[in-house]
Chains A and B, each alone.
Chain A
Amino acid sequence: MKRFWVNLIGWTLGLIWLVPFMGIFMTAIRPMDELLNGWWNFDEFHPTLKNFYQAWNHPTAPLSQGIPNSLIVAIFATAFPILFATMAGYYLARYTFPLKKSFMTTIIITLALPSQMVAIPIYEMLLKMNLLDSYIGLILLHTAWGIPWITFFMRNFFTTLPIEVEEAARIDGAGDIKIFFKIAFPLSLPAIGSAAALQFTWVWSSFFFELITIYSPDKFLATQRIPLMRGVYHVDWGILSAAAIMVMMVPIGVYLILQKYYVKGMIGWSMK
């Protein structure tokens, strides 16, 4: 009896999350005239992929451009910070140096920093460096903003990694840099998987930095195209829903495939 109530309350609450997802899906796969009485009305039901096709080939904001653009930026803006931050995290875990403590504090402070705090100087700087409206500038920006949290995350991982293997290698005459690349780096791959899953989805989902640095319509990232698809006077919910699904499928896919790593990353990111 108690079990029944737990199930009932659990599913009733769960429906609050299920129904909107079902709604956006139903809106995306049904023609406009079937939606006039709401997507929950199934008097007529003729599923179609037309909305997906139209969002993909949208006249002013095609996702056929936006999704490859986002992929390029997200891949590079994941690989670079992972490499640099893993090295920095390793150093912080294994070596002592002056000011180390204030260093760690700085990392935490940058974790809390809002993007707006750097927006104007970044805009002016990229303008001067001729990197405005360029993916190089955007990738550098995401790399720099990914480094603090990944460094923190990897440092915490390396402090749990037993040092013995590395010391054995040192006795065998391996240098520190070799030890890092040959031993520590391969051992840290599961942690790197977690960090990469999070960093990739965050860069994919990012909007503010894109908004202030990328201006040419053909360079727009996927997230920048969503607001453009809405139209000013009339909202075509079919196309907008299809676009929303396509853009959210990438991070959701990463989450579903790397679920274990993703959740571990989420926990490690927020709790040391």
Chain B
Amino acid sequence: MRKSRLLHFLVFMLPALALVFVFVIYPSARTIILSFFDEEGHFTLQNYKKVLSSRDTINIDGIARGEFPLGTLLHNAIWIAIHLPFTTFLGLILAVLLRRTRGGNVLKSFIFFGMVMPMIVGGVMINFLFDANVGIVNALLKFFGVHPRTWTAHPETALFSLILGSVWLWTGFGMTLYSAGLETIPKDFYEAASLDGAGPITQFFKITIPLLKPITVVVMTMTLLWDLKIFDIVYVATQGGPGGASNVLAIQMYNYAFVEFDYGKAAVVAVLLTIFTMIAAIPLIRTVGEES
């Protein structure tokens, strides 16, 4: 009996375990170690000092003058501060509205395309929307007398253009999850509320939002992780430029590692990024812990 139990464990789990260990867990541990050693192999905290005091990460001058670049840490924070509430709220509003809109399912599909397409293509779409010549954004702004420009190419607007574009790309995620959630709310709830004289706005805040709270937690967690890991869009649309004005942590790590070949500094950025994603994942870890 003992023997067959071990055999089952090996047959079912070993391929998965071995691959995850070799390609996920071991390299992650290696990166942590790398971050604490210099090129000669001596233990050091210099890498952390260098990264945390670097203008790439936090640019004090830029912050003082209120000019981009502000540093990757702040850029990611701004990204989250705008993208997270916008996509979550828009997702909910669209899910509620399009359920009752004629042709709403077609619109939902198009909104969802934004997150089904490769994010490399998503970055091209952002360039396309904000381009000085072919961009529809400029065509619209012309009505208001704004001179056309390539919004992603100017330091003061590059990051905001990318963030707005990423709202466009990602809203479908929350919308889809909320749409599924709305189906699970019994109609009686709304009917009962109507009989009690509650209007649609009251119903939305008193029934819809509280009942969708578990979904909101998931949408916000996943969106937060997406914002922290953002790479492809920035890489293709601005390369983090101009002059680092739209740089983010993941791009910073790539540049340190594969452009400057400074593995110590790159490992530090990777570790920092991982710490942030782990904090963001706490609600997920908690639900699984409770369950098992």
Contacts and interface: CB of A to CB of B under 8 A. Distances in A.
Given A18-B110, A20-B136, A244-B124, A270 B24 contact: no
Contacts of B4: 176
Nearest to B228: A114
Nearest to A19: B136
Contact of A121 (B12, B30, B120, B280): B30
Contacts of B11: 87, 177
Interface residues of A, number: 95
Interface stretch (A3-11, A42-50, A162-170): A3-11
A266 B177 contact: yes
Size range of the interface on B? 35 or more
B180 A118 contact: no
A91 B23 contact: no
* Interface SS majority for chain B: helix
A117 B270 contact: yes
Contacts of B219: 270
A272 interface: yes
Contacts of A263: 176, 180
Given A105-B288, A122-B27, A144-B19, A271 B107 contact: no
A6 B125 contact: no
Contacts of B285: 105, 108-109
- Residue in B19, B119, B131 with the greatest tally of chain A CB atoms within 10 Å: B19
20 contacts: A7-B101, A13-B93, A14-B111, A17-B110, A21-B113, A40-B139, A88-B12, A95-B8, A108-B284, A109-B281, A112-B277, A114-B273, A117-B271, A119-B266, A119-B270, A205-B120, A207-B118, A226-B236, A244-B125, A262-B116
Interface of A: 3, 6-7, 9-11, 13-14, 16-21, 23-24, 27, 35-36, 38-40, 84-85, 87-88, 90-91, 95, 97, 100-101, 104-123, 125, 140-141, 143-145, 147-148, 151, 176-177, 180, 201, 204-208, 211-212, 222-223, 226-227, 230, 235, 237, 240-241, 244, 247-248, 251-252, 255-256, 262-263, 266-267, 270-272
Interface of B: 4, 8-9, 11-13, 15-17, 19-20, 22-28, 30-31, 34, 93-94, 97-98, 100-104, 107, 109-114, 116-121, 124-125, 127-129, 131, 133-134, 136, 139, 168, 173, 176-177, 180, 214-215, 218-219, 222, 225, 228-229, 231-232, 235-236, 249-250, 253-254, 257-258, 263, 266-267, 269-271, 273-274, 277-278, 280-281, 284-285, 287-289, 291-292
